[in-house]
Amino acid sequence: MRKVLILLVLSFVVACSGKHTDIETGFNQILADLNAANISVNNNHRKKLFSYNLPQNIGVKESNSISSRLSFYQQDIFMSLDVSAILNDKLKEINVEDLVFDQEFQLKTRTEEKTGHVYIEELSTQENLIYLRINNVFFLAMVHKVDTLDVIEQILSISQTIEVKNKLVISEFSNKETFAYEKEVIELFSDSIPDEGMIKDIIIEEEDDE
């Protein structure tokens, strides 16, 4: 009986490790393909502070001056300018444990190679939460597990085309105004952020630290 129990535990560990490996392998392949491909030369969505190109299979549900709720095959992808990072000229350090995937990466854009970071948290047996930031923009998406890599591919494709007017952002916001806007940003996507979970804690912490 003990041997059977040990085998079951080992099988569970191997299965979990396999899932993590599959995401890592798939992510690295997507990254390699995008870095080798041509980037769209025109942006079809232009805001006062930044612009970007959306593939034809992605729509816009809601939008304000610094953020948008996108739709990819009935799944929401939230994107927003990281105003606090632009004003402070640095990214907040994030230290969390027990994530399904946590990786820094390099992505080719129109002008230069940019450093980004992706975090994936398992919400349930069916869903993952993606938090990805690059080029002073962050993305948030709660997705079916089987769609995780497809959604990440769309996010990275959009990220390659993002052009942020950093000087205009700095002149547009004071630190006090930034807090108000970041609260509005979270509220826009609040229905899609789970009540519990490490990634929600990250976002709320970033807001409260302003």
Q: Tell me the pairing of strands 75-81 and 137-144.
A: antiparallel
Of the candidates 142, 138, 137, the residue with the CA atom closest to the CA atom of residue 195: 142
The pLDDT, as a whole number, for residue 94 is 66
- 134 close to 107: Cβ distance less than 8 angstroms: yes
pLDDT in tens, 111-144: 889 999 999 989 889 999 899 999 889 999 989 9
Nearest alpha-carbon partner for 132 in 111, 107, 110, 113: 107
> What pLDDT, on the 0 to 100 scale, is given for residue 104?
94
Please compute Rg for the chain using Cα positions. 18
Q: Of 15-19, 43-47, 95-99, where does mean pLDDT reach its minimum?
A: 15-19
Which pLDDT score, from 0 to 100, does residue 189 have? 62
DSSP helix/strand/coil, 30: helix
- Tell me the β-bridge partners of 128: 122, 143
- Between CA 53 and CA 41 the distance in angstroms is 9
Cα gap 121→125, rounded to integer Å: 11
Taking the whole predicted model, whether its pTM rises above 0.85 is answered as no
pLDDT in tens, 22-61: 899 999 999 999 999 998 877 888 888 999 999 888 999 8
Residue 109 has pLDDT above 70, yes or no: yes
- pLDDT score recorded for residue 98: 75
Query: How do residues 152-190 score in pLDDT, each as one tens digit?
Result: 999 999 999 999 998 898 888 766 555 566 666 666 665
Query: Of 16-30, 99-113, 165-179, 196-210, which gets the smallest average pLDDT?
Result: 196-210
Where are any strands of DSSP class E within the chain?
45-46, 50-52, 58-63, 67-72, 75-81, 101-108, 113-122, 127-134, 137-144, 163-164
The angle at the Cα of 89, spanning 161 to 165, to the nearest 5 degrees, equals: 40
Average of per-residue pLDDT across 50-76? 89
Q: What's the distance, Cα to Cα, between the start and end of the chain in Å?
A: 55
- Least reliable range by pLDDT among 1-10, 14-23, 181-190: 1-10
Q: Which residues contact 146 (CB under 8 A, 6 or more apart)?
A: none
**pLDDT value at position 41?**
74
**Does residue 107 register a pLDDT over 90?**
yes
The amino acid that residue 156 corresponds to is L
Q: What is the pLDDT of residue 205?
A: 52
What pLDDT score does 36 carry? 95
- C-beta of residue 42 within 8 angstroms of C-beta of residue 53: yes
Segments making up each domain of the chain, as ranges = 2-208
